[in-house]
Structure 1
Amino acid sequence: MNFDPMYQPYAGNRFCITANHGMVATGSAPAAAAGLSILQKGGNAIDAAVATAAALTVCEPTANGLGADAFAIICYNNQLYGLNASGYSPYDISLDKMSSYQQMPVHGWAPVMVPGAVKGWGELVKRFGKLTLKEDLAPAIDYAENGYAAGPMLAYMWNKAASRFQQLFKGRHEFDPWFDTFTKNSKAPQFGDLVILKDHAKTLRMIAETNTDAFYHGEIADKIEAQSIRDGGYLRKKDLEDYQVTWVDPVSVNYHVYDVFELPPNGQGITALMALNILNQFHFDHRDVNSIHTMIEAMKIAFADGLDAITDPQEMKQDYREFLKEDYGIHNAKRIDPDHASIYTKQTPAKSGTVYLATADKDGNMVSFIQSNYMGFGSGIVIEGTGIALQNRGADFSLNKKDANVLSPHKRSYHTIIPGFLCKDGKPLGPFGVMGGYMQPQGHVQLLMNMIDFHLNPQMALDAPRWQWTRENKILLEPEFDNATAQALLRKGHDIQIATERTPFGRGQCILRKGNGVLIGATESRTDGNIACW
């Protein structure tokens, strides 16, 4: 049978999924199955989240890996906790050492920061898990060692990255390990190919058996340092040894009677909350041009303030809580011209890749978890013989001394990846997220408004055509976006461009818990997404 797995001429007609024992929603069917297997083994939602996250490093290496960062909002015994497992810049890097660059490099060792995800897995299991880290990582080790089949979106993104890396890096020795690890005879896996990552399996096993110590203190840390020194990088073993995750309190705004929770900076979750704070001053009942125009303008204002202020919270010049006060929303709502688009910032957000997952168990525990190598495969640096692809989060640092997010040693950068959580009347409803760089807060706002204001069920709220602000007055619309609305936005001064594919618009998941304990899950067609439940 001959067919194109990426050809989708018709709109999806899927329904929400329901279950009562447990649920895992993510962009990879094998990874969702890994989380479900842990729930069925007696693990809780936290164990399932760690198992799924580890499996995603194997089953979706195009967007995350063992060198990734992570953030999570955990609902445990009806209490919300926040995990910041993003890394710091190396002690050895500085503005002076980057003086030959106009802006931070995107690839190579320069943008590499301490990977936080692996440490985050260990801390989650230690604080909330019912099983051991070794048990939780077993499914991921099995996939890496014995293989899994490449899905259509995974194969598409992998081939796209391989083609780009061939043009950028072929012949540059520091990138040879990437080609050795992620291509075979310089070719990426095709749809339906069996993928086996033996080095990845070996590293996961070492992480599991040492409760992450091998990664941050032992043999793996030694290998990272040795390769960094060899290739002129800045990351050292001391950076890894000194790394600790940060436990934080999620922050929220009440939007039209629902409490929306995000994590505080250095993530951009407050950008979504800032936009909702502005939109709180309006009433919406259907998706018409006026509502979408207002949403876009509020998002642009929020981004202007967020891009200017967000960085390592220890170095923020402004108190982010000021952005969440009602006065901020009222003031900025008045700035929106109902008839004309306005420019609020000249900054241009970058593109990136991320994975998101949501889990829930029968006891009411739930996790909103996001993990990323940032720009696709990240820096392009892979540690030889380990399968570890290092993130390039440092690419977001500014080299302008006057900017809040200016590069300095041992500093967390502005971070795009954000998990979300929804509550009402003090009761947790569930986790949600939309992966995809600077699309993420825009996706959060659109998903939430689709459910809260436009009364769409979670599946339709995810599948609804999206818009994306890209810079100034430029708005990218999905191919399926209503043409009459697009024309009306154009008349209001928006610089409209219709995308040729859906990949720039994020990939989301959502789980909501009803009062009777029944779980409602949704995943979308922009990914190889799957809901595993029982």
Structure 2
Amino acid sequence: MSFEFDALKYSYPSRRSLVYGRRGMVSTSQPLAAQAGLDIIKKGGNAVDAAIATAICMTVLEPTSNGIGGDCFALVWMKDKLYGLNASGHAPELANAKDIKAKGYSEMPVHGWIPVTVPGAVSGWVELSKRFGKLEFEELFESAIEYAENGYPVSPVISRLWENEYEEFFKDTEDPLFDEWKRVFSDNGRTPSAGEIWTLKDHAKTLREIAQTKGESFYRGALADKIDEHSRNTGGLIRKEDLAKFKAEWVEPISTSYKGYEINEIPPNGHGIVALMALNIMEGLDVKTHDDAETIHRQIEAMKLAFVDGQRYVSDPRYMKVTKEELLSKEYAEERRELIGHDAIMPEYGDPSCGGTIYLCTADGEGNMVSYIQSNYCGFGSGIVVPGTGIALHNRGNNFNLDENSENCIGANKKPYHTIIPGFLTKDGKPVGPFGVMGGFMQPQGHLQVMMNTIDFGMNPQEALDAPRWQWVGGKKIQVERAFPFAVTEELVRRGHEITVLPESTSMGRGQIIMRDEHGTLVGASEPRTDGFVAAW
């Protein structure tokens, strides 16, 4: 199944051109990583091998957004079927809301040990390779180890994000818990400038050990011992037993139909379901053009309604009180759609039972495709780096809450509401291609906008990414990019939206797309808001 679009029809000036290939393609936000993934395909690997190699490289090349101590999710099209992988970790056995509140917290903190959950990415690499990979697992680590050991030039956007994280938190903290971060990721009070060569030798040692032990060291061996020891010595909750019991799990993707296509996402605990709920609401509304104020107003209102439902109901699926089928019901979407009028509303969740991240995608010449996302969550995550390992632990537990009556309250062995979501577009059960937009709570909003740009407005992949974006940030507050049409912004204000025009666009998500066009040719696009790159063969 191919997707038809006019490759030369642009409504907006593009800073990038579409990239074409036939035998392989990798698209991500760091050029060196994309090329490393393509090298794997040229060596005889498939799209899964390329995705793993690219992801491993990204822990070195873009440490601001992801790391060895983060989580991942994947959607894999392999031999005429779509598979889902959930490699998100659970809270430690010792975690509970009562103890956290007793320490003086009224909400989950961003930094430190409390928001650290078991990192799932390494297990994700292992399971993907074991089930679908063609090459030896160790071979997938070679480029990442080379860059970590011998250095790589830091790309411009990553340099700026690196500096921002340092200035906002690490520069002024005197807590010794974050000393290892400063040793690994800064140099005498500064972070790397664009083009500066940076080495991460501890990363190289750790990645080599993970490769040689096929991930066992991280969860049940020497690396697990180091994580356990550092946690015990510095007040953390995570233990080796928490690591030992974890394994990434294969899940059945969820989807919704939208105007002749199927948009596929990973089921909860991820919030890809929010994008699907918003599309369900939009499906019954008339839309005109991308820059029509009425269309954008309706998109915003649909997203708000879907998001508040997601934030109320989505959690570890073992604890959810409503089902994914109820949330994705077309009848429920019709009820929510009726709440959309001329003016902006303050959204409230309904009752459906009544009716920092990196993204990459890959494709090979055999028809296999991967949509993959990996994250340490907020910037560098928790700020904790396990001494001598380069393992920056994520802070995904920040998405738990401390309300003991909530399905998403932190608890032992429980997975939190998760913001990272890979997407995959199909038509009549056949693959069109992987897509994703990284960026925390922007992700389902990016999915909605990119998919409507593609399906409703006929944009090709690069145009769909280039088009100016909006982001709902709570209440009636909306952020828009500088390129957003002024007349549309004025009309949205008249309708009651509280608009802020952002000076830069890095918070509007950073996405990638690969599709097969009407000729069976691979067509790739990468985000103009980052250092993105499409490597093709």
**TM-score bucket of the superposed structures, by smaller chain:** over 0.9
Deviates more, 1:308-317 or 1:328-337: 328-337
Q: Which residue does 1:129 correspond to in 2?
A: 133
Aligned ranges 1:335-374 → 2 under 5 Å: 335-337=339-341, 339-345=342-348, 353-374=356-377
> Which of 479, 486, 504 does residue 501 from structure 1 map onto?
504
The one-letter amino acid of 2:228's match is E
Cα deviations across residues 436-467 of structure 1 (Å, max 9, x unaligned)? 00000000000000011111111011010000
**Could you tell me the TM-score, scaled by structure 2's length?**
0.95
**Could you tell me the TM-score, scaled by structure 1's length?**
0.95
Q: Which residue does 1:42 correspond to in 2?
A: 44
Q: Which residue does 1:95 correspond to in 2?
A: 97
Matches of 1:145 and 1:515 in 2, distance apart? 43
Look up the SS of the partner of 1:294 in the other structure. Answer: helix
Q: Which residue does 1:303 correspond to in 2?
A: 307
Q: CA deviation at 1:133?
A: 1.2
Cα deviations across residues 122-142 of structure 1 (Å, max 9, x unaligned)? 110000000011011111111
Q: Which residue does 2:73 correspond to in 1?
A: 71
Cα deviations across residues 461-497 of structure 1 (Å, max 9, x unaligned)? 1010000000011000001100000000011111111
Q: Which residue does 2:20 correspond to in 1?
A: 18
Look up the SS of the partner of 1:266 in the other structure. Answer: coil
User: Contact 2:15–2:528 at 8 Å: present in 1 too?
Assistant: no
Q: CA deviation at 1:185?
A: 1.1
User: Contact 2:170–2:178 at 8 Å: present in 1 too?
Assistant: no
The one-letter amino acid of 1:48's match is A
> Which of 327, 331, 353 does residue 327 from structure 1 map onto?
331
Cα deviations across residues 399-447 of structure 1 (Å, max 9, x unaligned)? 0112221111110000000000000112111000000000000000000
Cα deviations across residues 213-268 of structure 1 (Å, max 9, x unaligned)? 01111110000000000100000000000001111011111101110000100000
User: Contact 1:362–1:517 at 8 Å: present in 2 too?
Assistant: no
Aligned ranges 1:259-278 → 2 under 5 Å: 259-278=262-281
Aligned ranges 1:462-501 → 2 under 5 Å: 462-501=465-504
Q: CA deviation at 1:355?
A: 0.2
> Which of 376, 379, 384 does residue 382 from structure 2 map onto?
379
Matches of 1:164 and 1:514 in 2, distance apart? 44
The one-letter amino acid of 2:110's match is V
Pair 1:95–1:13, CA change in 2 (3 A): closer
Tell me, which stretches of 5 or more residues in structure 1 are unaligned?
1-9, 347-352
Q: CA deviation at 1:330?
A: 1.3
Q: Which residue does 1:249 correspond to in 2?
A: 252
Look up the SS of the partner of 1:315 in the other structure. Answer: coil
Matches of 2:93 and 2:516 in 1, distance apart? 44
Tell me, which stretches of 5 or more residues in structure 2 are unaligned?
1-11, 350-355
2:87 counterpart of 1:110:
no
User: Contact 2:113–2:236 at 8 Å: present in 1 too?
Assistant: yes
Q: Which residue does 1:83 correspond to in 2?
A: 85
The one-letter amino acid of 2:67's match is G
Matches of 1:217 and 1:517 in 2, distance apart? 44
User: Contact 2:91–2:397 at 8 Å: present in 1 too?
Assistant: yes
Matches of 2:326 and 2:105 in 1, distance apart? 34
Look up the SS of the partner of 1:438 in the other structure. Answer: helix
Matches of 1:160 and 1:281 in 2, distance apart? 42
Identity of aligned residues (%): 51
Cα deviations across residues 282-312 of structure 1 (Å, max 9, x unaligned)? 1323120000000000000000100000000
Q: Which residue does 1:148 correspond to in 2?
A: 152
Look up the SS of the partner of 1:90 in the other structure. Answer: coil
Matches of 1:157 and 1:196 in 2, distance apart? 18
User: Contact 2:420–2:440 at 8 Å: present in 1 too?
Assistant: yes
Q: CA deviation at 1:12?
A: 3.8
Matches of 1:72 and 1:48 in 2, distance apart? 13
User: Contact 1:364–1:517 at 8 Å: present in 2 too?
Assistant: no
User: Contact 1:284–1:454 at 8 Å: present in 2 too?
Assistant: no
> Which of 436, 444, 447 does residue 447 from structure 2 map onto?
444
Matches of 2:367 and 2:151 in 1, distance apart? 33
User: Contact 2:369–2:434 at 8 Å: present in 1 too?
Assistant: yes
Matches of 2:178 and 2:170 in 1, distance apart? 10
> Which of 282, 285, 291 does residue 282 from structure 1 map onto?
285
> Which of 522, 526, 532 does residue 523 from structure 1 map onto?
526
User: Contact 2:293–2:491 at 8 Å: present in 1 too?
Assistant: yes
Q: Which residue does 2:240 correspond to in 1?
A: 237
Cα deviations across residues 17-75 of structure 1 (Å, max 9, x unaligned)? 11001000000001101101101110000000000000000000000000010000000
Matches of 2:313 and 2:327 in 1, distance apart? 10
User: Contact 1:345–1:472 at 8 Å: present in 2 too?
Assistant: no
Aligned residues: 517
User: Contact 1:24–1:358 at 8 Å: present in 2 too?
Assistant: yes
User: Contact 1:416–1:440 at 8 Å: present in 2 too?
Assistant: yes
> Which of 188, 191, 195 does residue 191 from structure 2 map onto?
188
User: Contact 1:301–1:344 at 8 Å: present in 2 too?
Assistant: yes
Matches of 1:168 and 1:229 in 2, distance apart? 25
